[in-house]
Amino acid sequence: MSDQQLDLRLAAQVAHLSRIAVAGERLEEAAQRFTGVLEAFRVIQTLEPPEAGEAAQPLGRADLRADGPASSFGADRALANAPQSHRGHFRVPPVL
């Protein structure tokens, strides 16, 4: 593990942003675990990705369809299975 450990304030902030409920007495343990996760990502970042061989494109680019305009189905068909719609658009719950 790294010599740098998250301080308790930062660990509490990470827990809050991650929506993880951490009681005050378990905050030290959470800081250690978060530090471990960060260390794992540091190790991953040092790795070099392998060269992409033939398996990266097993079918080759020639087998893909041409990218261009095509006919599509209308709004009525697109909205047929939508839980809610309004004036020809999907209706979703407000985010804010």
What pLDDT, in 10s, does the model give residues 29-41? 999 999 999 999 9
Does a structural domain hold residue 32?
Answer: yes
Does a structural domain hold residue 83?
Answer: no
Does a structural domain hold residue 90?
Answer: no
Q: Provide the CA 40 distance to its chain's centre, in angstroms.
A: 17
Q: How many structural domains compose the chain?
A: 1
- Whether 30 and 2 have beta carbons less than 8 Å apart is answered as no
Residue 61 has pLDDT above 70, yes or no: no
What is the amino acid identity at position 37?
V
Q: Please, which residues have CB within 8 angstroms of residue 15's CB and are 6 or more apart in sequence? A: 21, 22, 27, 30, 34
Confidence at residue 50, expressed as pLDDT on a 0 to 100 scale: 75
Does a structural domain hold residue 40?
Answer: yes
What pLDDT, in 10s, does the model give residues 43-59? 999 988 777 666 666 66
**C-alpha to C-alpha distance for 82 and 76, rounded to whole angstroms:** 10
Does a structural domain hold residue 16?
Answer: yes
pTM: 0.47
- Whether 50 and 18 have beta carbons less than 8 Å apart is answered as no
Where in the sequence is the domain holding 12, given as residue range(s)?
8-46
Within the chain, residue ranges assigned H as helices are: 8-17, 27-46, 75-78
